[in-house]
Amino acid sequence: MSSEQSPVQPSADASSNRSRTGLSEFALAVGGFGIGTGEFAIMGLLPDVATDLGVSVPTAGHVISSYALGVVVGAPVLAVLGASFPRRTVLLVLMALFALGNLASALAQDYGQLMLFRFLAGLPHGAYFGVASLIAAGMVAPNRRAAAIGRVMLGLTIAVLVGTPLATWFGQGLGWRAAFAIVGAIAAATVVLVRVFVPFEAARAGANPLRELDALRRGQVWLTLAIGAVGFGGMFAVFSYITPTLTETAGVPPHLVPFVLSVFGAGMILGNVVGGRLADHALLPTIGGVLLWSALVLGAFVWTSQHPWTAVATVLLVGTGGALVPALQIRLMDVAAEAQTLAAALNHSAFNVANALGAWLGGLTISAGFGWNSTGWVGALLALGGLLVFALAWSLERRRAQPCAQAA
C-alpha cells in the first residue's frame, strides 16, 4: 500500500448534513412564499373584492390594514405563548393557523367576516418568520447565520417576484376567493414540508414566556426595532405608490407595470442574498451601509422616476434595500440574549410599522401637491432617520463596552 495519503474528501456525514439543512431551509422558505403571496396578492384584487362584497375600493382596502394589525399583534403574543414549546411544533401550529385563516377568507360571506379572517391570517406572520429565522440560524455555523436567514427570506421575496402576480392572475380569472384558496393550499403544503424536513429539537432549558418578555427591557432591542420601523419605511414610501408614479410620472404603459413590480422583486432577492453574506462578515457596518445606500437610491428616485428606463433601473436598486432584513434579524438575536424568539418575531412587527409609516408619509406629500415622485424624498429622509437611530445604538454600545475593556 502506498504511503502517500489520498486527498481529503468531504465526509458522507458532512454532505448529508448539508443536504438536510438545504431541505429544511427550502421547507421554511415555502412558508415564507405562502405568507408573502397572501399578504400582497390582495392589493391587485381590491376592485374585485369591493364589487363582490358591495363596498367601495377604499373600504375594501381596510382588509389590508386588518391583516397588518394581525401581524403587529400576533408576533409578540404568539412568540411569547410558544416560548416553552419545541420550535418545530410552534412552526406547525403557526402555519396551520395561517392556512385556516386564508381558507376562511376564501369562504367569507360578507365584508365583516373578511375583515376578521384577514386579521386571523395575519396573526402567525411575524412569529413564523421569527421562529423560522432562529431555526435556520441554529443549523449553520455562527459566521453563516445571516446567509441562512437570507435564504429562508428568499421565499418572501420570490413571492413578490412570482407568487403575487400569479395569485393576482388566478384571482382575476377565477375570482378573488381563488387567490386565498391557493395561499391556503401552499400553507397546508408547508405544514407537511416542515414536519418532514425540519429537524425536531426539544424546547430549550429554561425557555418560558417570562424569559422572552425580558427582551422588552433591553434598550438595544428597542433601538434595533426602531432602525427597521423608521429606516425600512423609506422603501415602503416609494413602493406603496409605485404604480401611479410609473404611469403618471415616468410614462410607463399600465400593462408593463407588473413587469416593473417583478423587477422590484428581483432587487429584493439580490438584496437578501448579498445582504446576508455581507452581514456575516461585518454586521454593524452592513446595517449602516444599507441604510446609507437606501437613502441615496431613494433620493435619486425623485429624478430618475421622470423617465421610463431610469425609473425601472432605480426600482431594482430600491428593492436591494431588502438587504436590511437578514442583518437586522441577526442583530436582534444578538442583543436579545436568551429572549430571542420574541425579539426575532418583533422584527416583522417593526417592518409592518415601516409599511404603515412609509405609506402614510408618502401619501401626505402627494396630497400636499408635491407630485408622485415626492415619495423619493420621504423615503430618503426615513432611511437617514434609520441611520441616525443606528448611529445612536452603535455609539451607546461602544460606550458601554469601554468600561468592560478597561476592567479587563
Query: Rounded to an integer, what distance in angstroms lies between the CA atom of residue 175 and that of residue 170?
Result: 7
Averaged pLDDT for residues 105-132 = 91
The x, y and z cell numbers of residue 155, run together, are 421565499
The x, y and z cell numbers of residue 61, run together, are 382596502
Considering the entire predicted model, what is its pTM?
0.78
Q: Is 84 strand, coil or helix?
A: coil
Judge whether 28 and 198 are in contact, CB under 8 Å.
yes
Q: Is 175 strand, coil or helix?
A: coil
Q: Could you give the angle at which helices 283-304 and 324-335 cross, rounded to 10 degrees?
A: 150
What digits encode the pLDDT tens for the residues 142-165? Answer: 888 888 888 888 888 888 778 777
What digits encode the pLDDT tens for the residues 54-86? Answer: 887 667 777 877 888 888 888 888 888 887 788
Query: Rounded to an integer, what distance in angstroms lies between the CA atom of residue 46 and that of residue 60?
Result: 6
* Closest by Cα among 383, 397, 198 to 292: 383
Judge whether 106 and 178 are in contact, CB under 8 Å.
yes
Q: Where in the chain is the domain with CATH 1.20.1250.20?
A: 20-203, 208-403
Q: In CATH, which of 3.40.50.300, 1.10.150.120, 3.40.980.10, 1.20.1250.20 is domain 20-203?
A: 1.20.1250.20
Under CATH, which number does the domain 208-403 receive?
1.20.1250.20
What digits encode the pLDDT tens for the residues 336-375? Answer: 777 777 777 788 788 878 887 888 888 888 888 898 899 9
The pLDDT assigned to 228 comes to 93
